[in-house]
């Protein structure tokens, strides 16, 4: 992969995405441009994260340099065709966790790779099975971990993942927020 000739820009304020990109031994700078993260109501569930990731990348189009590669991403949680983004309040977070309790949900991360003259988008899906979560546990989780910046109101890398995830199918890092193996593969294809 000929990535050395590019300056990598991560268009995300997620500390978890930064950690995962660092773990891939990539040097990068953060450059976040705030966008409207709404999406068309008729968009299929599996396309929503990619749509938002693309909107994030498009915000960089006018300012990207010839030698820059911009990586943007978005993660959503879906359960019974309902989308659970970042919670708007403690009540919202607790209700989400109780909804996901003792059931399986899907985590979709859409990733966009933007070069000056091209754009590549892909989505990775992982399934997560939660054990039963009591209202007391959901409240304590919110108070102790403040998951206000996490889709689905939880982080798989903290207490919720340790205590309540019975199994996952797919990429663990995708659930954290960036599917690193798939990202590496897609970058290799793009920069070949």
**70-83 b/e (C-beta count within 10 Å ≥ 16 → b):** bbbbbbbbbbeeeb
Predicted local confidence at residue 1, as pLDDT = 65
Predicted local confidence at residue 184, as pLDDT = 96
CA separation for the pair 43, 114 (Å, rounded): 22
Predicted local confidence at residue 74, as pLDDT = 96
Please name which of 105, 91, 109, 92 lies closest in space to residue 186, comparing C-alpha atoms.
109
∠ CA 108-113-119, rounded to 5°? 110
Q: Which CATH class is domain 3-190?
A: alpha beta
Tens digit of pLDDT at every position of the chain (192 positions): 678 889 999 999 899 999 999 999 999 999 999 999 999 999 999 999 999 999 999 999 999 999 999 999 999 999 998 999 899 999 999 999 999 999 999 999 999 999 999 999 999 999 999 999 999 999 999 999 999 999 999 999 999 999 999 999 999 999 999 999 999 999 999 888
Please name which of 107, 116, 120 lies closest in space to residue 49, comparing C-alpha atoms.
107
Domain ranges for the chain? 3-190
Catalytic residue among 74, 92, 143, 149: 74
| Angle, helices 180-190/15-23, rounded to nearest 10 degrees | 60
Kind and range of the H or E run holding 36: none
Give the CA count within 13 Å in the CB-facing half-sphere of 63.
11
Using CA atoms, how far residue 135 sits from 94, 159, 183, in Å, is 7, 15, 37
143 in catalytic set = no
Predicted local confidence at residue 192, as pLDDT = 82
């Amino acid at each position: 992969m000929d990535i050395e000739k590019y300056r990598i820009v991560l268009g995300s304020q997620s500390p978890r995405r930064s950690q995962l990109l660092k773990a891939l031994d990539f040097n990068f700078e953060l450059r976040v441009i705030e966008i409207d993260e709404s999406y068309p109501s008729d968009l299929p569930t599996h396309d929503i994260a990619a749509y938002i990731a693309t909107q994030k990348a498009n915000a960089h189009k006018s300012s990207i340099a010839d030698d820059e590669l911009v990586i943007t991403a978005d993660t959503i949680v879906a359960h019974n065709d309902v989308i659970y983004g970042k919670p708007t309040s403690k009540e919202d977070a607790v209700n989400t966790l109780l909804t996901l309790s003792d059931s399986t949900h899907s985590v979709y991360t859409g990733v966009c790779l933007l070069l000056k003259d091209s754009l590549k988008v892909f989505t990775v899906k992982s399934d997560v099975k939660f054990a039963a979560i009591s209202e007391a546990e959901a409240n304590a989780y919110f108070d102790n971990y403040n998951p206000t910046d996490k889709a689905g109101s939880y982080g798989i890398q903290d207490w919720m993942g340790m205590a309540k995830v019975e199994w996952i199918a797919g990429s663990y890092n995708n659930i954290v927020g960036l599917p690193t193996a798939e990202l590496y593969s897609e970058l290799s294809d793009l920069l070949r």
